[in-house]
Amino acid sequence: MLCLVAYFLPAIVIGNYVCKLSDLVDLLQFSFSQAVPMSCPLHFAANLSWLFPELEKLSHRIKAAAQAGFKAVEVAWPYDTEVTELKQALEKNGVDLILINTPPGNKAKGELGLGALPMQEAEFRAGLDLAVKYAKTVGCKQIHLMAGRVPVGLDRTSVAKAMEATFIENLKYAADILSKEGLLGLVEPINTRITDPRYFLNTPHQAVRILQQVDRPNLKLQLDLFHCQIMDGNLTQNITNYFPLIGHVQIAQVPNRNEADSPGEISYSYIFSLLEKLGYQGYVGCEYTPKGNTVDGLGWLRSYWGNQGTKKLAGRAECQ
C-alpha cells in the first residue's frame, strides 16, 4: 500500500537532488533486502547408526527413515551390508545416503579410525579405498575421515606431534583421491570429556588448525554440536567463525545425547535459526540416542517441517 501511495506524492528536495517519494520507497526496500539475509530452510538426515535401533537390518532402517519423512540418511559404517544391496534399498525408498565414515580399523584393539595413527598409513589407504568404492556406488558425496584414538598405553602429549603430522599427510593423500572422484572429505572432533577420552581430534579449534595446514578445498569440518558444546561451548561464535569451513553439521542434546527437544544445555530452536540466517545449505545429521521409539521422538522435526510449510504458504522464498 505504501508503494502505491508514494506514486501520487510530490517530489522532495534532498540536498541538490530532486527525488520522488516513490524512488525513496524503492531505495529503502532494496536496502532492507540487502541488510536482511535470506534464511535457508534446513535439510535433515537420519543417522541410521543411532536412529531406529529397534530394527536390526540397515535396509529396514532406510525404509523406516523414508516412512518417517527423511529424504536423506547417513551411516557410520555400512560395510556389513553388501554395496549393491545398500544401493537397492536406497533407490527403492527414494533416499539419498549423504555421509559415511572410513572404516574404524581393528575394533578388537580398540581402534576407532586410522587417519592419525603412525605406521598405519597402508591400512588407512585401504580403508579409504573401500569407503570410496561404497560412496561411488551409492552416490554418497561425503566421507568422514576418522582420525582415531591415542594408542593404549601412550601419553597424548608424547605422541601429539607425530599423530598430527601423520594425520596431515593422510588427509593430503585422501583429498587428492577424493578430488578425482568429486567427493568431499570431512574431519570431526569428538569430545574427550564424556564420549571418548582417547580420541585424537577433540576440539573444533584443533580441527580447523589442521585443515588450514592441509589446505585442500575438498576437506571440510564436520561439526557435531554435541561434541562442540561439551569441549568448548560458545556455539554462536564457533558456528559463525568457522562457517566457511563447515561441510556438515550433526546434532544431539547435551549431556544425555537424546532428541533435540529433550532437556539439556542447547537451545536448538536458536541454533536452527542461526544456521538458517547464515545460509547453511548442507545437511543436519540427527545423531542421537532416541529416548524411546524413534518415530515418537521426532515431534521436534515434524514441527520444524510444519513451520517451513507454513512459511512456504506465506510466500517466503527458499534458498536454492
Query: Which string of DSSP letters, residue by residue, matches 27-72?
Result: HHHHHHHHHSPPP---EEEEETTTS-TT--SHHHHHHHHHHTT-SE
Mean pLDDT computed over every residue of the chain: 90
pLDDT(21) > 70: no
- pLDDT (tens digit, 9 = 90+) per residue, 145-188? 999 999 999 999 999 999 999 999 999 999 999 999 999 999 99
Q: What is the mean pLDDT of residues 257-281?
A: 98
Of 101-105, 111-115, 202-206, 314-318, give the lowest mean pLDDT range.
314-318
Query: CA-CA distance, 280 to 284, in Å (whole number)?
Result: 9
Q: What percent of the chain has pLDDT over 70?
A: 85
Q: What radius of gyration do the chain's Cα atoms show? A: 23
Element (H, E) at 179: helix 156-181
Of the two residues 316 and 222, the one the predictor is more confident about is 222
User: Whose CA is closest to 140, among 194, 76, 183?
Assistant: 183
pLDDT at 176: 98
Helix (H) or strand (E) holding 242: none
pLDDT at 112 over 90: yes
Which of 26-40, 196-210, 237-251 is least confident? 26-40
Averaged pLDDT, 118-144:
98
Counting runs of H as helices and runs of E as strands, what totals does the chain give? 11, 10
Q: Are 43 and 74 in contact (CB under 8 A)?
A: no
- How does residue 34 score in pLDDT terms, banded at 50, 70 and 90? very low
The pLDDT value given to residue 40: 83
* Local confidence band at 310 (pLDDT 50, 70, 90 cut-offs): low
Query: Which run of H or E residues covers position 182?
Result: none
Spell out the SS3 assignment of 254-308: CCCCCCCCCCCCCCHHHHHHHHHHHCCCCEEEECCCCCCCCCHHHHHHHHHHHHH
Q: What is the mean pLDDT of residues 278-296?
A: 97
> What's residue 311's pLDDT?
57
Listed residue (149, 171, 169, 170) closest to 160, CA to CA: 149
Annotated catalytic residue: which of 188, 265, 276, 318?
188
The predicted model gives 215-236 an average pLDDT of 98
Is 133 a residue whose pLDDT tops 60? Answer: yes
Q: Report the distance separating Cα 197 and Cα 205, nearest Å.
A: 17
The pLDDT value given to residue 299: 97
Instruction: Give residue 28's pLDDT.
Output: 42
pLDDT at 215: 98
Q: Which three cell numbers stand for residue 238?
A: 564457533
Active site residue 287: yes
Count of beta carbons in the 10 Å neighbourhood of residue 5: 11
User: Over 70: is that where the pLDDT of 15 sits?
Assistant: no
| Residue 178, CB-side half-sphere exposure with 13 Å CA sphere | 27
Confidence of residue 319 (pLDDT cuts 50, 70, 90): low
Cell of 14: 534532498
pTM of the model: 0.87
Q: Which residues contact 124 (CB under 8 A, 6 or more apart)?
A: 102, 114, 115, 117, 170
85 is known as an active-site residue: no
Mean pLDDT confidence for 223-236: 98
Which positions ≥6 away from 232 have C-beta within 8 Å?
203, 204, 205, 238
Give Cα separations from 80 to 106, 270, 307 (angstroms). Answer: 14, 38, 38
Q: For residue range 37-94, what is the model confidence (pLDDT) as tens digits?
A: 557 899 999 999 999 999 999 999 999 999 999 999 999 999 999 999 999 999 999 9
First to last CA, the chain: 30
